[in-house]
Amino acid sequence: MTKPDDKELVRQVAGGDENAFLMLYDRYAAQVHALTLRILSDPMLAEEATQDTFLKLWSRARLYLAERGPVPVWLLTIARRTALDRLRLESRRPTLSTADDPDDLWRVIPDSKTTGEESRWRALYMAVQSLTPDHRQVIELAYYQGLSQSEIAETLGWPLGTVKTRMRAAMEQLRRVWGQP
């Protein structure tokens, strides 16, 4: 018996199918939750952001366009925005990872089993860990704290040009280490 694919499930969710919704939840809740936790670093807020993300899946499923990309990218993009909005709402100061321990934010204990699909993402995770602290920090503040380059410059007290150079170098390094599929 083959499992229904993501796109088919989203189509069914758009038609109000709760079982299809729960199947997608079971497939992606752990990834959505990992991302919201990564951004909010607070279990309660992360759980709420995860809930909001899936409620948006329920109400926006009909807006999903298959040709614009895979379902998990769409869902996790919603999760990222939801968590970043929440972060702004809480008006919390950005977490400065190098201030204490640069590796701390990336030291999440993974859930037990790793599937074949996951290993590719794990490789990117390792690639981020292999960045120098400065490079990892610009990626961190940009992507998981939602700061603009000017805000990063202000937060870290670096010249804007330095932020830009390090951002480019960090992305270059990730491309080199992780490679293109």
Partner 1 sequence: MQNDEHKIFEENIPAYSLGTLDAEETSALEIHLPTCASCRNELAACRQISDGLLMAAPPKAPPAALRQRLQRRLPSAQKTNRPPRNWSFDRLALGFAIIVLLALNLFSLSQMQSFRRQQAQLTHELQTSQTALAMLAYPGTQSLPISAANISGALLLDKDRSVAVLIIWDLPQLPDNRTYQAWLVDPQGNRTSAAMFDPDPDLPFTSVTIKSPNELSAFTSLGVTVEPAGGSRQPSGSRVFRIDF
Q: Candidates 2-10, 87-95, 96-104, 163-171: pick the segment binding partner 1 (CB under 8 A).
A: 163-171
Cα distance between residue 14 and residue 119, in whole Å: 31
Q: Does 37 bind partner 1 (CB under 8 A)?
A: yes
Cα distance between residue 93 and residue 177, in whole Å: 31
> In sequence order, which ranges of the chain are alpha helices (DSSP H)?
6-14, 18-40, 43-60, 71-89, 116-129, 133-139, 149-156, 160-178
By residue count, the chain amounts to 181
Q: Does 31 bind partner 1 (CB under 8 A)?
A: yes
Find where tokens 């919704």 sit: 21
Contact present, 46 and 36 (Cβ < 8 Å):
yes
Which of 41, 92, 139, 158 forms a contact with partner 1 (CB under 8 A)?
139
Q: Which of residues 60-89 bind partner 1 (CB under 8 A)?
A: 60, 62-63, 65, 68-69, 72-73, 76-77, 79-81
Q: What angle do CA 45, 29, 126 make, to 5 degrees?
A: 90
Q: Does 147 bind partner 1 (CB under 8 A)?
A: yes
Residue among 5 and 114 whose Cβ is closer to partner 1: 114
DSSP label at residue 100 = S
Smallest distance from the beta carbon of 165 to partner 1, in angstroms? 9
Q: Does 96 bind partner 1 (CB under 8 A)?
A: no
Q: Candidates 1-9, 42-50, 86-94, 95-103: pick the segment binding partner 1 (CB under 8 A).
A: 42-50
Cα distance between residue 180 and residue 175, in whole Å: 7
* Residues at the site binding partner 1, with contacts judged by CB under 8 A: 16, 18, 21-22, 25-26, 29-35, 37-38, 46-47, 50-51, 54-55, 58-60, 62-63, 65, 68-69, 72-73, 76-77, 79-81, 108-111, 118, 120-122, 124-125, 128, 139, 141-143, 146-150, 152, 164, 167-168, 171-172, 174-175, 178, 180-181
